[in-house]
Amino acid sequence: MKTLLRLIFPALLAVSAHADSASDLAAKLGAIQQNGASVVRLKMEVQGAGKSTLQLQIKQRRSSSSTEVVYQVLWPKDRAGESVLLRKTGDQSATGAIFIPPNTVRTLDSSQMKDSLLGSDLTYDDVVENFFLWKEQAVVGTEVVNRVSCDILESKPGRGQRSNYGSVRTWVDRRRDVPLRVEKYSSSGKLVRRIETTRVVTNDNKQAVPANLTVTGPRQGSVTELNGSSIKHDVSFSDREFAPTGFMEVSAGRSAGN
Amino acid sequence: MNFLTIVVRGLLRRPVRTGLTLVGISIGIAAVVALVGISHGFEASWATGMKVRGTDIVVSNMGNALAPKPFSAEVRDRIGKLPEVAAACSIYADLTSVEDASMMVVSAREWGGFSWQNLKLISGRMPNDGMEDAVVLGQTAAEMLKKKIGDPLQLETKELKVVGIVDGGAMVENGSVILSLELFQKITGNEDRINVIDIRAAPGMSEEAVKQLCDKINAIAPEAKAMVAGEHLGNSQAFRFISAMSWGTSLLAVIVGVLGVMNTMLMTVFERKQEMCILLAIGWKPSRIIRMILWESALLGFLGGIVGVIIGTISVKVLEQLPAIHGMLEPDFNGGLMAVAVVLAVVVGVISGLYPAWRSSRLTPSLAMQG
């Protein structure tokens, strides 16, 4: 039957195979991103008019249906303890809260998700939105990035899925299943944000992950560099750590086995 | 005029071309000296670090990451029971960014373990106990982090106090942030996890006996691998990759040098065709012409080697002074490396001269009359 179809509708089959591979690829990348509880330590440098460096701890609980993330500033001392809590469930809009020591807590509603994350070129939405889970996925070409041949995956929000972006293109190294470049476009097709990586490492789950990210956004002359120091999976968190009452406390993530 | 004078004069006929070829081969050899010297120096520094700590055997799990993989702290107790083990010290060594420094060695050592003993206080004091919120910094680490005694230091989620600055006797030790293992485990949430065990063998054990002890440890602790101190870094895939990259890059530079010398020598053969034919006419054998070409190319290689060694050494010394790198390099420019570089340059010279020499051997005296 398949042979017959191939003879009659070769072009149709090719398109169908491409569409399948795009959704498979997106599902695979989406699953890698929504990979349970983990703690990440990284250094974030924002270079614009001036230069600011932050040491951050990221606690995250990601499942196929929900994402909870806490960004906490560890250093410098004058910003230590500053925290951002973000939540997203299914296709609903993300919400969150900001804590600025000693005791300022501000809630973030969905309209504020376009705001800058801790002064960087990323928005709150960039942190919680998993565009690999959007309904429309297509491989639109191939290109070599840093001498690595990549498939270009285009993701678009489907019906009922809301985003500040009209589409997102991801250059995926298929050998390691790791994105090397992400470009986010507005609904009018204008490039809004570019995220690139030059260093890929194998994490504690033996999964290839970007170890650094360079983010350029709409702010003229501003660049954000994120350099990962460590990542720990299978971490046990209490619910309190992802609640407005608890995310103000900076504590290390404990391995589930400990 | 003797044979050597003819060889030298052959090279001096076109001094600019000879000079440029010399520069080409020198750069290749300089790359060999600089990259391999840095890579050897790093390995030697680790070995020195182990030696000054009095470590005979290192038990770790060096995979393809720069820092070893963690394993259970209970492994130390298992190893410590062996009669050939005089002392064991648990360590958690990590490579991480600290404050605004990109990557630093954080060395968390079992409180009271022998790996603290080699640290010589330059200023301040050692931590009072294993749970005091305190760190000591190697002198290079203190310079890099711009810290002095009493300053705070943010490590992971905890603010610690710099209580001492130490000389660890080796580059790796001096570039480290050093603290108690128990404190580090607590602040990183890695209780009961370590990634290195330093072992001191019982006094009087021969090298062979130490190797046998490694086998014994490997049998009772399959979670990690015991290796004689100094050899363990070579077991790291990451280090092997860096080393291979050094040699690979050097090889490319040398190939460029080979092509440069070959081009020069070929041009020499073409330009001096008449001269060679006359030499053949007055009784020189073709084998002597071949030797002359090979000597010229070997001399070019030798001079390039000498200049390359000087350029490579100076380049690394200049690199060492750059603020971004200061204190992070401890190149190993030993006599062996210098000799290998010069011999390599001569070999490159001879190989480059083989084809031009073969071309010269096909000349005949009658060609001299053709002009």
Output B248 or B180, whichever has higher pLDDT: B180
Mean pLDDT of chain A: 87
Q: How sure is the predictor about B232, in pLDDT bands with cuts at 50, 70 and 90?
A: low
Q: CA of B247: how far to CAs of A248, B308, B320, B333, in Å?
A: 50, 16, 21, 15
Is the Cβ of A238 closer than 8 Å to some Cβ of chain B? no
| Distance of residue B328 Cα from the nearest chain A Cα, in angstroms | 19
CB nearest to A202's CB, from B64, B159, B192: B64
Q: What does the alpha-carbon distance between residue B296 and residue B8 come to, in Å, rounded to a whole number?
A: 7
Is the Cβ of A80 closer than 8 Å to some Cβ of chain B? yes
Compare all CA atoms of chain A with the CA of B96 and give the residue at the minimum distance: A229
CB nearest to A258's CB, from B99, B154, B192: B192
Do B177 and B141 touch, CB atoms closer than 8 A? yes
Q: CB B152 to CB A254 under 8 A? A: no
* Tens digit of each residue's pLDDT (9 = 90 or more) over A193-244: 999 998 898 877 778 889 999 999 999 999 999 999 888 888 889 898 998 7
Q: What is the DSSP string of A102-146?
A: TTEEEEE-GGGTTSBSTTSS-BHHHHH--GGGSSEEEEEEEEEET
- pLDDT at A5 exceeding the cut of 80: no
| Among B80, B87, B111, B229, residue whose Cα is nearest residue B178 | B111
For residue A74, list chain B residues with Cβ-Cβ distance below 8 A. Answer: 154, 156-157
Q: What does the alpha-carbon distance between residue B294 and residue B53 come to, in Å, rounded to a whole number?
A: 51
Place of tokens 């250093």: A75
Do B261 and B348 touch, CB atoms closer than 8 A? yes
CB nearest to B156's CB, from A41, A77, A254: A41
Is the Cβ of A187 closer than 8 Å to some Cβ of chain B? no
- pLDDT at A10 exceeding the cut of 50: no
Give me the pLDDT at residue B371, please: 54
Name, in order, each residue with C-beta under 8 angstroms of B65's C-beta and a sequence gap of 6 or more.
Answer: A201, A202, B238
* Tens digit of each residue's pLDDT (9 = 90 or more) over A72-131: 999 999 999 999 999 999 888 899 999 999 989 999 998 999 999 999 999 999 999 999
A5-10 average pLDDT score? 42
Total count of residues recorded for chain A: 258
The ipTM estimated for the assembled molecules is 0.76
CATH architecture of A12-255: Clam (2.50)
Do A102 and A86 touch, CB atoms closer than 8 A? no
* Tens digit of each residue's pLDDT (9 = 90 or more) over B100-138: 887 889 999 999 999 999 899 999 999 999 999 999 999
B133-151 average pLDDT score? 95
Q: CA of B142: how far to CAs of A98, B23, B139, in Å?
A: 34, 40, 5
* Tens digit of each residue's pLDDT (9 = 90 or more) over A136-185: 999 999 999 998 999 999 999 998 888 999 999 999 999 999 999 999 99
CB nearest to B96's CB, from A39, A229, A232: A229
Helix (H) or strand (E) holding A169: strand A167-173
Give me the pLDDT at residue B237, please: 63
The full set of domain ranges for chain B reads 3-45+239-370, 55-228
Q: Quick one: how far is CA B27 from the chain centroid?
A: 18
B322-348 average pLDDT score? 83
For residue A254, list chain B residues with Cβ-Cβ distance below 8 A. Answer: 189, 191
DSSP state of A95: E
- pLDDT at B48 exceeding the cut of 80: no
The full set of domain ranges for chain A reads 12-255
Q: A148: buried, middle or exposed (CB in 10 Å: 19+, 13-18, 0-12)? A: middle
